[in-house]
Amino acid sequence: MPYLGLESIRRGTSAACIQDIFTLHFPTARKVLDVTFGTGRFWNWPHNLNVIGVDIDPPGPISLVADYRHLPFPRQSVDILVFDPPFIFSRGIQRVIGTKRFFRGAEEAPVESRTHSKISLNKPRNPADLLDHYRRIFEQAGTAKQGLILKGQDLIVSKPDWWSFNVMTMAKEMGLGMPADILIQYSKAARMRDPRWTKQYHFRRAHCYYIVYKFT
């Protein structure tokens, strides 16, 4: 691999972060499973990847409507597994963003699949719920041959929640070892601020993490 000069902090879009990760760590990857596809914002860069988009409540065209906790793919059927679940729980931030997909809490969210069967997902409503969703992904990590990319953020709910530490500790306990690398994305997104907040007790989180696990 030639020297690329890529740094551990990326001031750019999610697509730019994913591009950096594939360029440095997965240059031979061809088939990718994005199990929280959404609008596909990770893939807005020039690539030759075959991206299989999965989402339980897709806002647009998608490869498959499915619950990421029960992936219908055999072992080592893709090169890379990508997971970026909803991870913001603040009601204030919910109002600022104004989207329903990411804030259903633990309520059932039935959607019609293309086979007209009902599937539902209990969306994470707190850090403990969210960590359990990552556990389900770790249990299915064998779907990928080359590696796993996780996105997440240390949060402030009632007090700081150190997602990055918790998820890496859990992965190690489940046999995935330590990550091969970590990329930090810095964001100036307006959702990090709310004019209705009148007191501040902790530093706001203006960054998120991409944690990279390599299997080969």
DSSP 110-153: -EE-TT--EE------SHHHHHHHHHHHHHTGGGEEEEEEEEE-
pLDDT tens per residue, range 75-119: 999 999 999 987 655 554 444 444 444 433 333 333 333 333 444
Q: What is the pTM of this model?
A: 0.85
To the nearest whole percent, how much of the chain has pLDDT over 70? 78
Query: Alpha-carbon torsion 162, 167, 172, 177, what sign?
Result: negative
Domain boundaries, the chain: 9-214
Where does the pLDDT of residue 11 fall: very low under 50, low under 70, confident under 90, or very high at 90 and above?
A: very high
In this structure, whether the domain defined by 9-214 belongs to CATH 3.30.420.40 is answered with no
SS3 75: coil
pLDDT tens per residue, range 168-198: 999 999 999 999 999 999 977 655 566 777 8
